[in-house]
């Protein structure tokens, strides 16, 4: 039994299905929001939207006890909290880091779709937290 079937055995099917559908939608929408952080006029709106996505993922994955996803979302939410205080556009370093996080979310999505035995290993690029957040 893989990670998805484990969730279905522990939680109501509708809850797991709702989580997966919502998670899929959010993870697919991220790249456009992240890339648009280069645009000073879109920065505040997008950073708040990205923060909201990670906050929702953190909350739902915590409820469902999906530890790798919850830890990644928590870390990202902490970085985004700092970014919400900034004015202007995001640095290339931050954008690239967030794109790596987005790729990791997509890998976890594939793991769930395929009912893999375990989640994919964390991309090493995520470990290198960006130090320069604004351009």
pLDDT tens for each residue of 82-126: 999 998 899 999 999 999 999 999 999 999 999 999 999 999 999
Superfamily of segment(s) 3-127:
HPT domain (1.20.120.160)
Are 14 and 122 a contacting pair, CB within 8 Å?
no
- Confidence at residue 24, expressed as pLDDT on a 0 to 100 scale: 92
The reported pLDDT for the residue numbered 91 is 96
pLDDT value of position 101? 98
Residue 73 reports pLDDT greater than 90: yes
d(CA 75, CA 70): 9
Return the H-helix or E-strand segment holding 68: helix 67-83
Give the Cα separation of 127 and 8 in Å (integer): 31
Tokens of 85: 């205080």
Average pLDDT of every residue of the chain: 95
What are the domain boundaries of the chain?
3-127
The candidate with the shortest Cα–Cα distance to 130, out of 69, 86, 67, is 86
Average pLDDT over residues 53-59: 97
**pLDDT (tens digit per residue) in 18-32:** 999 999 999 889 999
pLDDT at res. 131:
92
């Amino acid at each position: 039994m893989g990670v998805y079937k484990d969730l279905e055995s522990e939680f109501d099917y509708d809850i797991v299905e709702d989580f997966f559908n919502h998670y899929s939608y959010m993870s697919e929408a991220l790249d456009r929001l992240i890339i648009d952080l280069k645009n000073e006029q879109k920065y505040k709106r997008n950073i708040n939207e990205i923060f909201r996505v990670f906050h929702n993922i953190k909350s739902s994955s915590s409820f469902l006890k999906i530890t790798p996803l919850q830890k990644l979302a928590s870390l990202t939410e902490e970085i985004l909290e700092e970014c919400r205080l900034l004015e202007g556009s995001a640095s290339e370093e931050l954008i690239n880091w967030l794109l790596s996080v987005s790729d990791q979310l997509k890998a976890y999505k594939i793991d769930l779709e395929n009912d893999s035995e375990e989640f994919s290993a964390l991309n090493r690029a995520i470990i290198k937290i960006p130090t320069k957040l604004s351009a």
